[in-house]
Amino acid sequence: MRMLNWLPEDVSTYGKEVDSLFYLIYYITGIVFLLVTVAMIVFLIKYRYQEGRRAIYTHGSTTLEIIWTAIPAIILILLAFKSQAAWSHIKMNIPPGEVQIRVLAKQFNWDITYPGPDGKFGTEDDLPRPGDPAILDEIHVPVNKVVRVELVGKDVIHSFFLPHLRLKQDVLPGRTILAWFQATKPGRYPLPCAELCGIGHSGMLGSLIVHTPEEYAAWVKEKWPSTEKAQ
């Protein structure tokens, strides 16, 4: 019964908000489905053709119709209001990031830029450094920090999808779109492209590597050996 067990593990601070809405709608629609199905089966059995019985002649009931219009309407509008809180939290009020990354989506890779210790893009300490090969398909972030992602598109529309973090955002060519997440558990998580982007769409896959604070410090030290402290 619990389709919810199929959801990937949630490792994001706002994942709970998404999942709890999912649960809520799941239970509401589940109940409605059962009621409708049971009613239908009962009617089909009880009112099947029987010799000598005539169907009830009625054109309906305005009262009933008003009831079954009003109840779904109220439930649905309440659901919309309830959803809005999570939506504005995830998509509208983007918090300042403790860690910044820029992701350039192109056919068929995620091209990553880190701003370095100064936290600003377009400066000398950016990674990759000028002349270095691009960093493709691997994002390193620390656990429990707000990560702010600048999504930049190059050719066609791609979609930045982190299933375990309940984050999906299309990336548009010629535009920068902001997204954010805060991972709650270290590990390696898939980063597929969710929007059809051409022949290589299937298999356009990166990884998000969420580090413990110690691991992350070591990673920063490896990448920016000259600086004592990360960001």
Partner 1 sequence: MSESRAAKGTHEVHEAHAHPGFVRTYIFSTDHKMIGRQFLFMGLFMLIIGGLMAMLIRWELAFPEKPLPIIGASKEFIDTGEPKTSMDQTWAEWLSKPESEQNWLTKNMPMGAITAPLYNSLFTMHATLMIFFVVMPIMVGGFGNFLIPLTIGARDMAFPTLNMLSFWVGLLSGIIMLASLFVPGGPAAAGWTSYAPLTAKVEYTGVNWGQNLWCISLIVMGISSLMGSINYITTIINMRAPGMTFFRMPLITWSLFITAILLLLALPVLTSALAMLLFDRMLGTHFFLPEGGGEPILWQHLFWFFGHPEVYILVLPAMGVTSEVLSVFSRKPIFGYRGMVFAMTAIAFLSWVVWGHHMFVSGMNPLIGATFMMTTMVIAVPSAIKTFNWLGTLWGGSIRFTTPMLFGLAFVSNFVIGGLSGIFMASTPVDIFIHDTYYIVAHFHYVVAGIIFAIFAAITYWFPKMFGRMMNETLGKIHAILTFIFFNATFFPMHILGVGGHMRRIFNPMQYEFLHPLQPINVFISISAFCLGAVQLIFLFNFIWSLFAGKRADRNPWHANTLEWTTPSPPPHGNFDKIPTVYRGPYEYSSPEVAEDWLPQDRRLETTTAKGAH
> Looking only at residues 27 through 46 of this chain, which bind partner 1 when binding is defined by CB under 8 A?
28-29, 32-33, 36-37, 39-40, 43-44
Q: Which residue shows structure tokens 């009830």?
A: 56
Among 27, 118, 129, 198, binds partner 1 (CB under 8 A): 198
Q: How far apart are CA 143 and CA 147, in angstroms?
A: 9
Q: Which two tokens stand for residue 40?
A: 């239908």
**Member of 92, 133, 214, 229 binding partner 1 (CB under 8 A):** 92
225 closest CA partner among 101, 117, 70, 74: 117
Binding of partner 1 by 95 (CB under 8 A): no
Strand, helix or coil at 197?
coil
Q: Give 105-120 as a DSSP string.
A: EETTEEEEEB-TTTT-
Give me the least distance between CB of 122 and partner 1, in Å please.
20
Pick the piece of the chain touching partner 1 (CB under 8 A) from 19-27, 130-138, 212-220, 221-229: 19-27
| CA contacts within 13 A on the Cβ side of 163 | 13
Closer of 57 and 133 to partner 1 (Cβ): 57
Specify the stretch interacting with partner 1 by CB under 8 A; choose among 3-11, 97-105, 135-143, 217-225.
3-11
Among 84, 123, 136, 218, the residue binding partner 1 under the rule CB under 8 A is 84
